[in-house]
Amino acid sequence: MSYISLSDPDRKEMLARIGASSLDDLFCCIPEEIRLKKELRLPQPLTEPELLAHFESVGRGNKQNAYLSFLGAGAYRHHIPYVVDYLSSRGEFISPYTPYQPEVSQGTLQIIFEYQTLICQLTGLEISNASLYEGASAAAEAVLMAGRLKGKPKVLVAGSLHPQYREVIRTYVRNLGIQVEEVDYDVRGQVDVEVLRKKIDGETSAVMCQSPNFLGVVEDLDRLAEIAHQHQALFEVIVAEAASLGILQAPGAAGADIVAGEGQSFGLPLSFGGPYLGFMACRKEYSRQFPGRIAGQTKDTEGKRGFVLTLSTREQHIRREKATSNICTNQALCALRATIFLETLGREGMRELAYQNIQKAGYALDKLAGVTGVRRKFGGPFFNEFVLEFEGGYKKVEDHLLANGIIGGLALAPYYPGLKDCALFCITEVHSKADIDRLAGLVAEVKR
Amino acid sequence: MYPKDYRFSKDHEWVRVEGDTATIGITDFAQKQLGDVVYVELPAVGKALEVHQTIGVVESVKAVSDVYSPVSGEVIAVNEDLNNSPETLNHDPHGQGWIIRLRLKNKADL
Amino acid sequence: MNPEPLIFELSAATKKGFALPKLDVPEKKNALEGLAVREAIPGFPQVSEIEVVRHFTRLSQLNFSIDTSFYPLGSCTMKYNPKINEKVAALPDFSGSHPYAPQGLIQGNLEVMKTLEEFLAEITGMDAVTLQPSAGAHGELVGMMLIRACLEARGDPRKIVLIPDSAHGTNPSSAHICGYAVHEVKSNDRGTIDLDSLDGEMTGDVAALMVTNPNTLGVFEWDILKICETVHARGGLVYMDGANMNALVGKFRPGDMGIDVIHLNLHKTFSTPHGGGGPGCGPVGVKKHLEAFLPLPIIERGPSGYSLNFGRPKSIGRVRSFFGNFLVMVRALAYIHTLGAAGLKEVAEVAVLNSNYIRKSLEGIYYLKYASPTLHECVFSDKLQSEHGILNIDIAKRLIDYGLHPPTMSFPLIVHGALMIEPTETESRRDLDRFIEAMKTIAREAVETPDLLKSAPHFSPVKRLDETAAARNPVLRWEEPKE
């Protein structure tokens, strides 16, 4: 199959116009010794029907779709209104690139402007960018931004921040002289305030926590903000389960200066981890150190409202090595999906969705913690995830569930040595009462 | 067009000296190159500057330019007006568009 | 014509766009106790489904796109996005899979990734590939980190990265984030890296040279073998920005040129949609000596299937969560399966043919700073037209009136008033000729009716927009009108 649109006469005439006798002439400037003398070793090309059959077959190697899953941990299954797929599949959205020519990109630009507004409303802060890659690199960008704003070498990061996010932060700061210190969680699963008070000092540029955190626990944001600000440090909140913003207190209202995180819950399928949607918002006074593309409102020569990419001098194509970030291509189509999702669900829909998550997770916890030998590990408030500890270990439970068509919570042993018999369970609005009852029933069957 | 009692640097800054105070800005040529100025990053009053150290940054929509100090000294005033009206740098680069005033450390820098 | 309202301007209480199934567990009245809960979000939209559909459908109609127009954005490779790849990526077995699912249950995904890695290694002539970076710039950052890790392991960290003056802005930006100082290498009068400049800059303190090949002028760095030799001889490594791979696929391999690390843009060369600004995917290919440092996890194929290896102690670590932009990888793999080796070779040949056809047709009408042969893109400038007061931006805006998306403007920096044209291989003769005719007409208009250009575009949803006002007084979100 070929997507070339030239006929044979076209090619001949074009070569004649150029004054070349063959296509090879056009590559004459390239040294002979680097020319490929034979064809690449790739399989025979497939026609469309063969292509589809091939991938359907490869896809069948994924058995997981046949399972009922209770996994969360930074990737969440939520209902996605069909209009999200329908509208975001339009060629006029999929096939343009970054809106460098705003006059013919008002669709893309207005959507970015609406998206930025929605993120500001949800986070309670004043400016947002057009997207970052995903939650972990968004957290890393937040750390770098704090370093630029405060000029101090240390960042305090909660140990209950998603393990992958902490790994990525460390990868990013390694070559920049920024020190990352972790602050443990307490018995309730929240940031240990005493440990925080001991570690924070005049060299700290920011305090960063995740809420709800990786253990599913909602943090006391007001208290953490206060401690950070007392020491002239920025307070940064990472949100991995964005659906929680539909009902939980806006981090900006609690004192966060920068909020960043993962927007996958806003209308993106699980996608085996990507493409996802990094989001970031901050206070207006930090705008010049803020990374990412930003759309702004303006007027055209006839006074009509329009939108353009703006504050571009922060960015790589102008500032080059002094840019606030190297990001160029971001996650625009994912931000489009999120915008459609948020506008379709709307104010009441977002709240209802979040409310159902809380109710169903609460119901699930009651049923599961009611099983002998199973208890909730942490007492702090939660949204749609919680950590359960299993007497006799989690492996037997995990295996029993798998044998019965269920993927249980994420085993935490690889991530926290103190939680070796624990697992992180996630319940969302997509789980029915029957699903939850089935889970509890199977857990109860495991001998302890 | 170019005022007589001004001195010019090869990075397109101008200096006007009165006693041991130097007023510094960018030239008409520089502002034309940049286009419409949208933002000026000013240093703090009291900052000590060496010759050719960066005073601050001038941003237009499509470009960014460091402003270098042609002389050394201590910043005694910055043009706060540029925060609200950066376009002054375009309209009157040699007058109202001044950027900083320094107490000269070494007259020989001139 | 009135502008499309913002969704917030259409919003009103009690309208709803989606109904959730009723709560089927017993409702606990005290469920919100202990949680800091918000009031209803002020100003958050409340609209009906038809309002959403009309809003986004109308907004889509305001965009130029590859699906409607010729889109010759240089260095972005705006080729046709095959639709079947959308269907493949949407297969529930792929789109519905959770990244923490047990390895035995996601073998299909691991097969997709491993196969794509192998195909890309074959195409680039490199030894190993990581698919984790989310975009080209992300790939550049990873490439820099790999180089740094490799040199540190040799006990010879070095501090500087050399970058040609024609390079894309993400190059110095990425090097800087990796903690390197950036030094510039000059281009000669043929538009390629000046070997004397390189020789002078290439000291024992230089970790790497970042080279784009063909470069941003569309010119092949024909001294590439000598360039790599010079860098290697003094202990440095060569990074290639593979954004322009469309000129090389199936005909030349960076691995054969002496390149140590390369990034690719799947959303350029490999046809995955640009999406209005992403998502992309920026795989990085390396030679053997850098393999140990690749980000984790590594995907391995064994007798009993695929598995994830987290046990590489020298790895630079993770650069993002999970595996990367997986559904973008699926599309790229589908594309490679569709084209095969012969098809990929044809891509490069026709991309170069189409670009040279445009170049030949416009030479003399627009100024071409460098006479060197070009491959898949060419860079003209506004020099001739500027004699009549017309700049590249005016030419670009007038192209819009002819229903054509403008080329890339003002880049590379070494060409003042640049217009970078990259048609790609999927354009028809008719569309190429239409573009050429429009450019010729505009060149005439620049002399005869320059005001028409200065006030362009005339036939677009909005006229020329005031970018200065947008930057001086940024309005970056909608606000609820105060009572």
The one-character DSSP state at A51 is H
Domain residue extents for chain A: 8-59, 65-78+347-445, 82-341
Which residues 405-434 on chain C approach chain A with CB closer than 8 angstroms? 405-406, 408-409, 411, 425-429, 431
Residue B70 at interface with chain C, using a CB cutoff of 8 Å? no
Is there a contact between A288 and B64 if contact means CB atoms under 8 Å apart? no
Look at A320-329, C4-13, C48-57 and tell me which has the smallest mean pLDDT.
A320-329
Quote the CA–CA distance of C373 and A417 in Å, as a whole number. 61
Chain B residue numbers touching A294 (CB-CB < 8 A) = none
pLDDT of residue A302: 94
CA distance C447 to chain A (A): 23
SS3 B19: coil
- CA–chain centroid gap for C316, Å, is 24
Residue C334: per-residue pLDDT = 98
Question: What pLDDT, on the 0 to 100 scale, is given for residue C483?
Answer: 66
Residue with tokens 């994420």: A410
The residue among C137, C212, C215 whose CA lies nearest residue C178 is C137
3-state helix, strand, coil in chain A (%, to 5): 45, 15, 40
- Within 8 A of B87 by CB-CB distance, chain C residues are 472
Q: What is the pLDDT of residue A184?
A: 97
Note whether C49 contacts A: Cβ–Cβ < 8 A: yes
Closest residue in C to B87 (Cα–Cα): C472
Q: Which helix (H) or strand (E) holds A350?
A: helix A332-369
Query: Which of A286, A311, A313 to probe by mutation at the B interface, max B CB count within 10 Å?
Result: A313
What is the residue-wise DSSP string for A200-224?
--TTEEEEEEESS-TTSBPP-HHHH
Homologous superfamily, domain C347-469: Aspartate Aminotransferase, domain 1 (3.90.1150.10)
- Pairwise CB contact (< 8 Å): B61 & C468: yes
Is residue B76 less than 8 Å (CB to CB) from chain A? no
What are the backbone angles phi and psi of residue A386, rounded to the nearest 5°?
-155, 155
Kindly list the domain boundaries of chain C, sorted by start residue.
Answer: 84-337, 347-469
Chain A contact set for B41 (CB, 8 A): 288
**Model confidence at C416: pLDDT above 60:** yes
B62 contacts A312? CB cut-off 8 A: yes
pLDDT at A312: 82
User: Which residues, numbered 293 to 312 in chain A, qualify as contacts with chain B under a Cβ-Cβ cut-off of 8 Å?
Assistant: 312
Q: Smallest CA–CA separation between C99 and chain B, in Å? A: 41
CB A249 within 8 A of CB A221: yes
Residues in contact with A176: Cβ distance below 8 Å, sequence separation at least 6, in sequence order: A144, A147, C177, C179
pTM, two decimal places? 0.95
CB contact under 8 A, B62 and C410: yes
Q: What is the mean pLDDT of residues C88-94?
A: 98
Number of residue pairs across B and C with CB atoms under 8 Å? 17
**In this predicted model, what pLDDT tens digit does every residue of C193-217 receive, in sequence order?**
999 999 999 999 999 999 999 999 9
B44-69 mean pLDDT: 87
pLDDT given at position B110 = 67
- 8 A C-beta contact, residue C255 and residue C226: no
For residue A69, the SS3 value is: strand
Of B60, B61, B64, the CB nearest to A319: B64
Nearest to A100 by CA among B51, C356, B62, C80: B62
Residues C287-301: what's their mean pLDDT? 97
In this prediction, residue A323 carries a pLDDT of: 76
CA distance A189 to chain C (A): 14
What pLDDT digit, counting tens, does each position of A23-58 carry?
999 998 899 989 999 999 999 999 999 999 999 999
- Does C468 reach chain B within 8 Å, measured CB to CB? yes
pLDDT confidence of residue B2: 63
B62 at the A interface (CB within 8 A)? yes
Helix axes C326-362, A48-59, angle to 10 degrees: 150
Q: What are the b/e assignments for C324-355, b being 16+ CB within 10 Å?
A: bbbbbbbbbbbbbbbbbbebbbbbbbbbbbbb
Which chains does A contact via 3+ CB–CB distances below 8 A? B, C
Chain B positions touching A313 (Cβ under 8 A) are 38-39, 59-64
Report the residue of B32, B62, B64, B65 to disrupt the C interface, i.e. the one with the largest count of C CBs within 10 Å: B62
Cα-Cα-Cα-Cα dihedral sign, residues C5, C6, C9, C11? positive
Using CB atoms, pick whichever of A105, A275, A343 lies closest to residue C327.
A275
Q: What are the residues whose beta carbons fall under 8 Å from the beta carbon of B46, sequence distance 6 or more? A: B74, B75
> Residue A117's closest chain C neighbor by CA?
C477
Contact of C376 with chain A, judged by CB distance below 8 Å, is answered with: no
Element (H, E) at A117: helix A106-123
Report the mean per-residue pLDDT for chain A. 96
Q: Which residues of chain C does B39 touch, with a Cβ-Cβ cutoff of 8 Å?
A: 471-472
Is the CB of residue A230 less than 8 Å away from at least one CB of chain B? no
First-last CA distance in chain C: 28
Touching chains, B (3+ CB pairs < 8 A): A, C
Interface contact A6-C470, CB threshold 8 A? no
Residue C11, both tokens:
């919003």
Of the listed ranges A133-142, A346-355, B8-17, C341-350, the one predicted with least confidence: B8-17
- Residue C274 — very low, low, confident or very high, per pLDDT cuts 50/70/90? very high
Neighbours of A8 (CB within 10 A): 7
**pLDDT mean over C121-132:** 98
Which two tokens mark C460?
A: 């677009």
Mean local confidence (pLDDT), A281-299: 94
Query: Which residue in chain B has the smallest CA separation from C474?
Result: B38
DSSP letter at A35? B
Contacts with A308 from chain B: Cβ below 8 Å: none
Residue C467 contacts B where some CB pair is shorter than 8 Å = yes
CATH class given for the domain over C84-337: alpha beta
> How high does pLDDT run on average in chain C?
95
Nearest CA in chain B to C471: B38
Residue appearing with tokens 């690719």: C264
Asked whether the CA dihedral C468, B64, C380, A25 is positive or negative, the reply is negative
Q: Do A65-78+347-445 and A82-341 fold alike per CATH?
A: no
**With an 8 Å Cβ cutoff, is C161 touching chain A?**
no
C466 in B contact zone (CB under 8 Å): no
User: What's the 3-state SS for chain C?
Assistant: CCCCCCHHHHCCCCCCCCCCCCCCCCCCCCCCCCCCECCCCCCCCCCCHHHHHHHHHHHHCCECCCCCCCCCECCCCCCCCCCHHHHHHCCHHHHCCCCCCCHHHCHHHHHHHHHHHHHHHHHHCCCEEECCCCCHHHHHHHHHHHHHHHHHHCCCCCCEEEEECCCCCHHHHHHHHCCCEEEEECECCCCCECHHHHHHHCCCCEEEEEEECCCCCCCCCCCHHHHHHHHHHCCCEEEEEHHHHHHCCCCECHHHHCCCEEECCCCCCCCCCCCCCCCCCCCEEECHHHHHHCCCCEEEEECCEEEEECCCCCCCCCCCCCCCCHHHHHHHHHHHHHHHHHHHHHHHHHHHHHHHHHHHHHECCEECCCCCCCCCCEEEECHHHHCCCCCHHHHHHHHHHCCCCCCEECCCCCCCCEEEECCCCCCCHHHHHHHHHHHHHHHHHHHHCHHHHHCCCCCCCCCCECHHHHHHCCCCCCCCCCC
String of DSSP letters for A267-296: T---GGG-S--EEEEE-GGGGGG--S--EE
Q: Name the pLDDT band for C349 (thresholds 50, 70, 90).
A: very high
**Residue A327, pLDDT score:** 80
Instruction: Give the distance from residue A285's alpha carbon to the nearest chain B alpha carbon, in angstroms.
Output: 13
Contact A178, A155 (CB under 8 A): yes
CB atoms within 10 A of CB A304: 16
Q: What is the tens place of the pLDDT at every residue in A403-441?
A: 999 999 999 999 999 999 999 999 999 999 999 999 999
More confident residue, C235 or B34: C235
Q: How far apart are CA A325 and CA A130, in angstroms?
A: 13
What pLDDT is recorded for position A114?
A: 98
CB proximity B59 to C under 8 Å: yes
**A173-202 pLDDT, tens digit each:** 988 889 999 999 999 999 999 999 999 999
Given a cut of 90, is residue A447 above it in pLDDT?
Answer: no
Q: At what angle do helices C429-448 and C326-362 cross, to 10 degrees?
A: 50
The values of phi and psi at residue A397, to 5°, are -65, -45
Distance of alpha carbon C206 from alpha carbon C197, whole angstroms: 14
* CATH architecture group of domain A82-341: 3-Layer(aba) Sandwich (3.40)
Provide, as residue numbers in chain A, all residues whose Cβ is less than 8 Å from the Cβ of C105: 62-64, 67, 407
Report pLDDT for B1. 55
Best A48, A52, A262, A272 residue to mutate vs chain C (most C CBs within 10 Å): A272
What one-character-per-residue DSSP string does B24-91 give? EEE-HHHHHHH-SEEEEEPPPTT-EE-TT-EEEEEEESS-EEEEE-SS-EEEEEE-THHHH-TTHHHH
CATH pick for A65-78+347-445 out of 3.40.50.300, 3.40.50.150, 3.40.50.970, 3.90.1150.10: 3.90.1150.10
**Residue found under tokens 């509208």:** A87
For residue A238, list chain C residues with Cβ-Cβ distance below 8 A. none
Residue matched to tokens 């397109």: B12
- Between positions 432 and 471 of C, the ones with CB within 8 A of A are 455, 457, 460-467, 469-471
Chain C, residues 387-416, CB within 8 A of chain B, namely: 410
What CA–CA distance (Å, rounded) separates B93 from B14? 9
- pLDDT at position B3: 63
Contacts of A338 in chain C (CB under 8 A): none
Cβ separation of A312 and B61 shorter than 8 Å? yes
Asked whether the beta carbons of A213 and A219 are under 8 A apart, the reply is yes
